[in-house]
Amino acid sequence: MRVSIFTWTKASVKGWLFVLILSVAASAQRPTAPAPKSSVSRSAAPVVVKLVDEVAFKKLIVPNGKPLLINFWATWCDPCREEFPDLVKLDNEYKGKIDFITVSLDDPEDIAVAVPKFLALMKAEMPAYLLKTADESAVISSVSKDWQGGMPFTVLFNEKGETKYFRQGKVVLETLRVELTKLTPPAIP
Amino acid sequence: MRQKSAVLFTVFAMLAFVLIPTTSEAGDFAVGTTLENFSLPDTAGKTHSFNDLKGKNGAVIVFLSAQCPVVKAYNERVSQIAADYAAKGITFIGINSNSTESLDWVKSHAAENYKFPMLIDKGNVFADKLGATVTPEVYYFDAKNVLKYHGAIDNDRSGKAITDNYLRTAFDASLSGKPIAKTKANAFGCSIKRIAE
């Protein structure tokens, strides 16, 4: 009797093991359902923040056939965080008409968690970069003669690279919107 | 008729000159400018004048903040530079112009981090006068109160890869009677939180 119980238990374990292996294999082969195109799914996508050095950064700040809006920010900067919803709003309004990038001046180690976490929270879809530099003063000079080094700093270049708007401190949404509209006239039908 | 048009044109031109906004230079305290003596209260309410606080070879006014992470990263370096040059007759004067930081907060932060006095610039009047915009931002005045250097302390806020010690270099040149090669470098940091912002 003791033998038969042992045999039954062994068979039962084998059976459950078989079912488990089958179910794991089936789930692995199951095609991934396409992500629904809702705003919820977009915000759930992982935010990619690219680390750039000074050489790559110099190329980034050159317009590529469109007006270029750049926002310099950091997670530790209160006004930077406060203005971000407005920036996301503008990105949604002018998407495709301008290039809009954000450049974080956080510590490089923040690229893994703090920076993408905040951008995901803001549902920010602008290309995001984190600048690694050992010379902030030189970077500031290379961006704009009008940047005195405070954060946030936002600058708008036209397609020729001429400065059309800059602001150290929180952007004034309406003022920036006016400048963006000037640079992006509606297409003539 | 032609004379009338000319007069009208002149009036319009004058009006345009007055009314069209130009880039404001107000508060842009240029290197070479002499600072008038001024007085501000410290965190205990005691008033100090610049001339009383400056050393025999001048003084550095450094705009600071109790909460800015960039200032935090510089605290040790600022204290070390202040200690190194106190013996050479250059003193440090901290100024807090942030409207968002309480006196108690500034007081405890200063006591924990600096040996030099911290003056309170209520209403950011003094920051406006110098045109200071960020923390940390330094203004080095010589013994005659002439601005010799303005801007960043060095070129790396992390302190890990400094290649230019702007402020120390300016001190050393000035103390040895040589011209300062770099008199201005953009300070990077937190915006000074002004009133009505």
3-class SS at B117? Answer: coil
A21-35 mean pLDDT: 38
Q: How high is the ipTM of this complex?
A: 0.70
Q: Are A126 and A101 in contact (CB under 8 A)?
A: yes
Strands B39-41 and B59-63 turn out to be unpaired
Tokens 């500031």, located at residue: A140
- C-alpha B76 chain-centroid distance: 19
Compare CB distances from A135 to B151, B155, B192 and report the shortest one's residue: B155
CB-CB neighbors (< 8 A) of A140 in chain B: 186, 188
pLDDT value, residue A38? 37
Q: Residue B161's closest chain A neighbor by CA?
A: A134
Residue A3 has pLDDT above 80, yes or no: no
Give whole-number Cα distances, A93 to A19, A88, B155, B159, in Å.
Answer: 52, 9, 38, 40
B105-111 mean pLDDT: 96
Compare CB distances from A136 to B160, B188, B190 and report the shortest one's residue: B188
Q: What is the mean pLDDT of chain A?
A: 82
Give whole-number Cα distances, B30 to A129, B25, B27, B35, in Å.
Answer: 34, 10, 9, 10
Element (H or E) spanning B86, and its range?
Answer: helix B69-86
Q: Provide, rounded to the nearest whole percent, the portion of chain B with pLDDT above 70.
A: 86
Residue A18 has pLDDT above 50, yes or no: no
Q: For B125-143, what is each residue's pLDDT tens digit?
A: 999 999 999 999 999 999 9
pLDDT value, residue A138? 85
CB-CB neighbors (< 8 A) of B188 in chain A: 105, 136-137, 140, 149
Q: Provide, rounded to the nearest whole percent, the portion of chain B with pLDDT above 90.
A: 81
pLDDT band at B13 (very low <50, low <70, confident <90, very high): very low
Put simply, the chain B residues between 57 and 96 with a CB less than 8 A from any chain A CB are: 69
pLDDT value, residue A148? 87
Q: For A97-154, what is each residue's pLDDT tens digit?
A: 999 999 999 999 999 999 999 999 999 999 999 999 888 888 898 999 889 889 999 9
pLDDT value, residue A14? 53
Put simply, the chain A residues between 20 and 59 with a CB less than 8 A from any chain B CB are: none
pLDDT value, residue B160? 87
pLDDT value, residue B161? 86
Q: Are A174 and A92 in contact (CB under 8 A)?
A: no
> What pTM, to 2 d.p., does this model score?
0.75
Residue B12 has pLDDT above 70, yes or no: no
pLDDT value, residue A137? 83
Both tokens assigned to A92: 């949604």
pLDDT value, residue B2? 53
pLDDT band at A47 (very low <50, low <70, confident <90, very high): confident
Mutate to test the interface with B, among A53, A137, A140, A168 (most CBs of B within 10 A): A137
State how far the Cα of B174 lies from the Cα of B164, in Å rounded to an integer.
Answer: 16
Compare CB distances from A134 to B163, B191, B197 and report the shortest one's residue: B163
pLDDT value, residue A1? 41
